[in-house]
Amino acid sequence: MRQFDFLGKTKIFLPISLVLILISMIVLIPGIRGLRMGIDFTGGMEFEVLFTGPEDIADIRSKLGTIDAGDVDLTTSVIQDAEGNKKVITLQLDDSQIADEIVAMLQANYSIAEDGISRSLIGQQVSKTLAEKGWQSVLLALLAILVYISWRFRLRYAVGAVAAVLHDVIIALGLFAIFQVEVNLATIAAFLTIVGYSLNDTIVIYDRIRENLKIERRKTVFEIINHSVNQSLSRTLNTSITTFIPVIILFLFGGSVLRGFSLALLIGVIVGTYSSMYIANPILYAWTMKAGGVKTAK
């Protein structure tokens, strides 16, 4: 079986990663580009509509798209089924004139019960709380990962894994900022999935490294890490490809509502596979060599 020199390519890929992280952090600055926060984080307006019969959500979203709402794309509105034939439509706007147009459109195109439309504002304070809780969940996940891997492996393994996860999340956020993809609670869930996916791939390689450090005592740490990555390569590629296929289908055919969620997963699969090889392992190698090589690596 051919052995690829993954660790030896660090001097090529690490600078690339650093540049990508730097660009991502720059475009995340609000004055330069910044993230486009969804209604979950900015507040907006919610309509409760009681139809006299069942109505198709895709058709409602399509007709919302015919209304000129300026910078707001109404086709990305969140539409949820409630009890009976009631639907809850959530939009990222606070313009009463456009709200009146939406009510008129609904009344003109659908059969609605008497007094069947009500609307209310979603306060920014509630949205601010949701934003704080969402990002706190990501940070808490990273902290829990650091503690757990330090306990199951060693601190150097934990730092490498967390660095790889941060690498993935920052680059994903940077791409969201560049392409102005909306960030909402579903996107936060996708970022937590990225954390889990990237970590899982890294841990598989780390576990193989730990085993090989015990049984291949004549090899250098460099050779052991490279050999371990090659041993895990088939499993890594198979997992990535089988995950990539449904995610790309979701991205292409999932519609505008799931676009941010699926894009985050798509980025996570690609960047997560890369970082487990070219970010986590070089950090482990550098720390191990500085600490004294194989004797302290186990």
Residue 278 near residue 6, CB atoms below 8 Å = yes
pLDDT, tens digit, 9 for 90 and up, residues 250-272: 888 877 777 888 999 999 899 99
Domain residues for 59?
A: 44-122
Domain end call among 122, 143, 171: 122
Higher pLDDT, 37 or 11: 11
Predicted confidence at residue 73, as pLDDT, reads: 80
User: Domain for residue 166, yes or no?
Assistant: yes
Q: Give 50's strand partners.
A: 86
Chain-centre distance for alpha carbon 43: 21
Predicted confidence at residue 126, as pLDDT, reads: 56
| pLDDT confidence bin for 136, thresholds 50/70/90 | confident
Is pLDDT above 60 for 245?
yes
Predicted confidence at residue 209, as pLDDT, reads: 92
Domain end call among 122, 149, 179: 122
Q: Are residues 134 and 201 in the same domain?
A: yes
Predicted confidence at residue 21, as pLDDT, reads: 95
Average pLDDT of the segment spanning 58-70: 89
Q: Which alpha helices (H) appear in the chain, and where do they start and end?
A: 10-27, 39-42, 57-64, 96-109, 124-152, 155-179, 185-215, 221-253, 259-278, 280-291
Measured at the alpha carbon of residue 214, what is the angle toward residues 213 and 217, in degrees to the nearest 5? 70
pLDDT, tens digit, 9 for 90 and up, residues 163-210: 998 999 999 999 999 998 888 778 888 888 888 888 888 999 999 998
**Structural domain tally of the chain?**
2
Q: Are residues 199 and 94 in the same domain?
A: no
Predicted confidence at residue 127, as pLDDT, reads: 57
